[in-house]
Amino acid sequence: MRKNDQTPECQDHHTTVLVVEDSIAERVRLVAMLGKLDYRILEASNGLEAIAQLEKNRVDIVISDWRMPGMDGFELCKKVKATTDLAPYFILLTGQKTVSDLVAAMDAGADDFIAKPFAVEELRVRLNAGRRIIDLRHSLCVKNEQLSHSLARESETLAQLKEDLVAAETLQRALLPDPCGLPAGVTMLHYFKGASGVAGDSYNIVTLSPTQIAFYLIDVSGHGIRSAMLSFYATQLLSNTSKPDLGSTALPVPSQVAQELNQRFLAEFDDGDYLTMVYGVLDTATGQGSFCQAGHPNPFLLDHESDAPEILGSQGFPIGMLEEATYEDVTFELKPGHRLVLTSDGLFSCRMASGQLLTQTHLAGLLNRIAQLPTARQQEKFSSTLDSFLAIRELEDDISALLIERTAQGTAQPHSTKLLTSVPA
């Protein structure tokens, strides 16, 4: 049987009616009525001939007598409704007028039921009802085709967007600091994971001289593409601001850098965008440093002897939130073998297996145990431990961490076989 597939079904067409009647006289009468009503007409003398017509032609309405030799109208209706994707509107004719006939016809799948004899006006209104249903089907079919095309375009756009996001994430990771580019006297560990691939977090260490570095970790509000673009913008500003003028040996003043960035954000973005940040400078020869904290989680100092972190700073105002915000410098000393740790707040919104939130103390314990490994293995261990911890959690925020260690002059790194394989429970 020819399927009324969507493409021809959705096209404008003259309504086609198939008349199935074994009585020649009745069939001629029906055809004459339909001719006056401006229908395209096909004929069949029984159910088997009707099936053949349906296999060759697209038919909108079938008018079939009930009792016929070979295959009667009842069986024809069941077969048409069962085997056609978009079955024609089906009207059964019968000389019986009982309720049981009506129920049987509807159970077989008939859309309408006409008892003989009938007038041309009754046939006309029944056919008009069928045409309205057919027109609704055509309209729905057109809308479905339009929707299918729209979904196909959306799928292509989404696929391209996913490719672009992967490329953006790759680029974002490529901009993270390279430990091999650090000056002598400092080493680093770092971790970066976006809640949705690309992230609003970013960090860097900028070499200012053989014994001087600037460092920062920023966290743009929200996450995703917009946050990532704002993060990239802020990163470029901070990296360029950190570079000393030609011939100058003066270190950037962190509070002034924060003040300048705050004014730039307020002037260029008016959609409520802001970021938190720690920006600082360090003399790697003396261990003397200073930083400015702009609404960001407190950095902390850590030594190898204790899991108790030394909390620094007092938060301050985020960048891009208040025009009248002021920023202060906090001084610190990074002794040989000690580490300065910066994180975004996303890490401390994660809960451990015990249900307790991860804290700076837990992170300090993890870092001290990783420090017992040979230097070459510490970065891999830090990344894999946090990856395992975060793998079973649905991230609601980007996560980043930056550790700067001032190496002990002339002192070998301590080794141990006692390792932590996971974040403390």
Contacts of 149 (CB under 8 A, 6+ apart): none
3-state secondary structure the chain: CCCCCHHHHCCCCCCEEEEECCCHHHHHHHHHHHHHCCCEEEEECCHHHHHHHHHHCCCCEEEEECCCCCCCHHHHHHHHHHHCCCCCEEEEEECCCCHHHHHHHHHCCCCEEEECCCCHHHHHHHHHHHHHHHHHHHHHHHHHHHHHHHHHHHHHHHHHHHHHHHHHHHHHHHCCCCHHHCCCCEEEEEEEECCECECCEEEEEEEEECCEEEEEEEEECCCCHHHHHHHHHHHHHHHHHHCCCCCCCCCCCHHHHHHHHHHHHHHHCCCCCCEEEEEEEEECCCCEEEEEEEECCCCEEECCCCCCCEECCCCCCCECCCCCCCCCEEEEECCCCCEEEEECCCHHHCECCCCCECCHHHHHHHHHHHCCCCHHHHHHHHHHHHHHHHHCCCCCCCEEEEEEEECCCCCCCCCCCCCCCCCCC
Give residue-wise pLDDT tens across range 199-245: 888 999 999 989 999 999 999 987 778 888 888 888 888 888 888 76
Confidence of residue 425 (pLDDT cuts 50, 70, 90): very low
pLDDT value of residue 85: 61
Contacts of 120 (CB under 8 A, 6+ apart): 33, 36
> Sign of the C-alpha dihedral, residues 303, 307, 313, 319?
positive
pLDDT surpasses 50 at 412? no
Percent of the chain past pLDDT 90, that is, above it, reads 39
Give residue-wise pLDDT tens across range 318-346: 999 899 999 999 999 999 999 999 999 98
pLDDT surpasses 50 at 139? yes
pLDDT surpasses 70 at 420? no
Quick check: 390 and 399 in contact, CB under 8 A? yes
Query: Tokens in use for 338?
Result: 């000690």
pLDDT surpasses 50 at 421? no
**Cα–Cα distance measured from residue 211 to residue 209, given in angstroms and rounded to the nearest whole number:** 5
Q: What is the mean pLDDT of residues 242-266?
A: 85
Q: What is the mean pLDDT of residues 357-379?
A: 91
Contacts of 44 (CB under 8 A, 6+ apart): 18, 19, 20, 50, 52, 53
**Cα–Cα distance measured from residue 300 to residue 316, given in angstroms and rounded to the nearest whole number:** 16
Per-residue buried b or exposed e for 63-75, using 16+ beta carbons within 10 Å of the residue's own CB: bbbbebeebbbbe
Nearest to 46, CA basis, from 75, 18, 28, 22: 22
The amino acid sitting at 105 is A
pLDDT value of residue 394: 79
Q: What is the mean pLDDT of residues 183-196?
A: 89
pLDDT value of residue 11: 47
Quick check: 91 and 126 in contact, CB under 8 A? yes
Between 202-211, 289-298, 347-356, the lowest mean confidence (pLDDT) is in 347-356
Quick check: 59 and 88 in contact, CB under 8 A? yes
Q: What is the mean pLDDT of residues 360-373?
A: 92
pLDDT value of residue 349: 86
Quick check: 302 and 310 in contact, CB under 8 A? yes
Q: Which residue has the higher pLDDT, 314 or 17?
A: 17
Give residue-wise pLDDT tens across range 76-123: 998 888 876 678 999 988 876 677 777 877 887 888 888 888 888 888
**Cα–Cα distance measured from residue 58 to residue 47, given in angstroms and rounded to the nearest whole number:** 16
pLDDT surpasses 50 at 24? yes
In angstroms, what CA-CA distances link 285 with 230, 282, 320? Answer: 34, 9, 34
Burial of 226 (0-12, 13-18, 19+ CB in 10 A): middle
**Cα–Cα distance measured from residue 233 to residue 222, given in angstroms and rounded to the nearest whole number:** 15
Which of the residue ranges 46-50, 157-161, 241-245 has the most confident prediction, judged by mean pLDDT?
Answer: 46-50
End-to-end CA gap in the chain: 66
**Cα–Cα distance measured from residue 91 to residue 398, given in angstroms and rounded to the nearest whole number:** 64
Nearest to 401, CA basis, from 351, 375, 362: 362
